[in-house]
Amino acid sequence: IAKLQVMSNFILGLDVGTSSVKAVLLDRRCRAIAASQSLPTVSDLADDSGIKAKEQDTGRIIDTLDRCIGLLPRDKLQHVCCIGLTGQMHGVLFWKPKSGCVWSNSDSLTAKDTSQLITWQDGRCSNDFLTSLPRPDSHLSIATGFGCATIFWYMKHKPKFLEDFTVAGTIQDYVVSMLCGLDGCVMTPQNAASWGFFNTSSNQWNENILKGAGFPLHLLPKCVPSGSLAGKTCSQWHGIPAGTPVGAALGDFQCSVYSCMSERTDAVLNISTSAQLTYAMPADFKPPDSPQPASSISYFPYFESTYLAVAASLNGGNVLASFVEMLTSWMRELATNKQPWGFPKPDITHITPTAESSKFDGSNKVSLGSECDYALLRLVSKFE
């Protein structure tokens, strides 16, 4: 046993995103990245229903995840000691626990008996529909794209759809359940708070409120602390041994902050699809008892029962992307027009927009780009 522990030198971190899947192997002896892979999921589904649905093909996402793991060096995967996962917190996926996936003879994972992934961008829950729902016992408001709101929508518009499934969770919760062979779904407060109807002070679902509204309580995941283990792998996976510990899935936003915040006094500016400025609240902080719609600050559960204060804006990395696209268009136009005064045409063949993390001083940091690549390296080390 001691020999196996010495040989198990690598930690695997996975980010199951809405546009790509990322995997990193960390050598825990020197805290260096041993290998990494990223693949686009190309899983968006066209919406012809007119209900502003935003869904993705679950099978394609899991296939991309499986291929991504298969591209990592197998000799290192054989010595993985633990696995951590993160992903987008608001979406919902339904599945059947006993047949939610298939393990092939080549130790690969294939999705089966699941719904499509309804993402955080889903817009089927109108304002009128949301106002018709019971008021949650939570400091966070309910919104379209939240897991519980989507389930309420299916209750009203497609009740038979829900009869086909007995378990629900986020896409990253689903992966954890399949890897561990769980009968149900375990979910951390980081994801549960983003589903709605979850009280972060008591770490409990609003079961009485939901029961009174006829909500299918069996679809609510079991809540476990952020940073805890969900179980162990039930099968070998591309060389990763069966019995490898797997952490309960975490929120991608919290992971992005964790990767940047070296001190609790740090403030972190994260620019990805949107932009968030955040800092950690004192350990004894408690959020308000009810939503504060007039406030520009929200409080999200972090680790060890603490909270992050967050000021968010939707115009983040998408604005930077538009700016880069505009510059590229200008350069292309300049390159095709005749240049005055004999100046050479600008060379646009090697334009590569980049963004890097920068540290201003001991108390302020800015992080741009993919929020979870490095975060998992630190997070999964908690499971050693």
> Could you give the CA distance from residue 321 to residue 95 in angstroms, rounded to a whole number?
35
> Could you give the CA distance from residue 194 to residue 145 in angstroms, rounded to a whole number?
9
How deeply is 342 buried, as exposed, middle or buried, from its count of CB atoms within 10 A (0-12, 13-18, 19+)? exposed
69 phi and psi angles, rounded to 5 deg: -65, -40
- Identify the helix (H) or strand (E) that includes residue 276: strand 275-280
* Cα within 13 Å of Cα(265), Cβ side: 3
Top CATH class, 10-255+368-381: alpha beta
H-assigned helices in 139-215? 147-157, 159-162, 171-180, 189-192, 207-212
Task: Sketch the domain layout of the chain as residue ranges.
Answer: 10-255+368-381
Contacts 24+ apart (CB under 8 A), 183-186: 183/97, 183/98, 184/97, 184/221, 184/222, 185/221, 185/222, 186/221, 186/222, 186/223, 186/224, 186/230, 186/231, 186/248
Full-prediction pTM beyond 0.85?
no
Per residue of the chain (384 residues), give pLDDT as tens: 344 444 678 999 999 998 999 999 999 888 889 999 999 999 999 887 788 999 999 999 999 999 999 999 999 999 999 999 999 889 999 999 889 999 887 788 999 999 999 999 999 999 999 999 999 999 999 999 999 999 999 999 999 999 999 999 999 999 999 999 999 999 999 999 999 999 999 999 999 999 999 999 999 999 999 999 999 999 999 999 999 999 999 999 898 888 888 888 888 887 766 677 888 999 999 998 888 887 888 899 999 999 999 887 766 556 666 777 787 777 777 665 555 545 455 454 444 444 444 333 334 444 444 444 444 445 444 444
